[in-house]
A = this chain, B = another copy of it.
Amino acid sequence: MKARRVVLMNRPAGEPAESDFRVEPYDVPEPGPLEVLVRVVYMSLDPYMRGRMRDVASYSPPVAIGAVMTGGVVGEVVKSNDPTIKVGEIVEGRLGWQEYGVARASELRKIDPAIAPISTANGILGMPGMTAYFGLLECGNPQPGETIVVSAASGAVGQVVGQIGKIMGCRVVGVAGGKAKCDFVVKELGFDACVDYKAANDLDAALRAACPDGIDVYFENVGGAVGDAVLRNLNFFARVALCGSISQYNETAPMGPRLLGTFVGKRVTARGFIVTDFAQHWPVALKRMAGWIKAGKLKYREDVVEGIERAPRAFIGLLRGENFGKLLVKLGPEPK
């Protein structure tokens, strides 16, 4: 059986182009002993993937030229040589940008479709949700009554950060690009305010107006000018959860935050983290998050593109901030 996958063709210096990827047919493999074959339903597109296109040492190895782009997926088991996984079960795993993939049980997480739509295993009940949960709670250490600012506020991670912040009793201010995203996080998700960085003439003044008591926790997703403006408005003993800096991922000479003076004088602690550092605590966090969703305290928005051939363009748009909510590519129908 033939299927389609996306491989990396070039390492772009700046913004990726569609020609840096190739959508190509391949023979769907047979699962070996103790392996299963998964039909991918949802493929996740995430900013970190830009880092995998670079040939530099990072916390994960780069994607080789000609190799399938890496990434998380949710799919249906269609063949199984492992007695612990049945055909028809829903699983989440890192099968990459392809319509079918083979994996071992130890590499897969079983998803219960009764808890939430299966797409959430790539989003709020998956890596982005866990990133928000542990980044905010472990690195940000928010206390009730404090002010949290989160950039890329309507994104896969940002929207969850803000809502968990509200659950924790904090004032939550988002930063997002455009009125629609700002309205969404305030009106739909319950953020206290949102600064539109594209519309603000004076980002510092807009942040000060939205954060009258200053900023105690910054969940950093974007870096660049937005990050700088937030850092300038931190309170004494503020915490910065360093999750990412999407504004800089396409830059050949990334801009540094003008951190040091502020960080010393304000006694700021900034902590970088990777969501897998907290892997052993995911089960508890997922249970807690599922409870909040059920209680109506945690909502989510997805941005679903159909067809693997649209993945490269959608990924380029993600880095431009064109998506609105967690970006997913739907490769096939959900199981009945």
Contacts and interface: CB of A to CB of B under 8 A. Distances in A.
A223 B256 CA distance: 12
A43 to B, nearest CB: 23
A200 interface: no
B248 A260 contact: yes
Interface stretch (A20-28, A111-119, A267-275): A267-275
Most buried by B among A223, A242, A244, A257: A242
A248 B261 contact: yes
A58 B265 contact: yes
Contacts of A254: 258, 260-261
A272 B272 contact: no
A267 B259 contact: no
Contact of A255 (B228, B256, B263, B265): B256
A140 to B, nearest CB: 13
Oligomeric state, in copies: 2
Contacts of A261: 51, 245, 248, 254
A202 interface: no
Interface string A49-89: 00100000011000000000000000000000000000000
A244 B59 CA distance: 28
Nearest to A274: B267
Interface string A208-252: 000000000000100100011000000010000011110010000
Contacts of A243: 264
A260 B223 contact: yes
Nearest to A48: B264
Contacts of A270: 259, 263, 269-271
A266 interface: yes
Contact of A257 (B236, B242, B260, B262): B260
B260 A258 contact: no
14 contacts: A51-B265, A59-B267, A223-B260, A243-B264, A244-B264, A248-B261, A254-B258, A255-B256, A260-B272, A263-B271, A264-B274, A267-B274, A267-B277, A268-B271
Q: What 3 pairs between A and B have smallest CB-CB spacing?
A: A256-B256, A263-B272, A264-B272
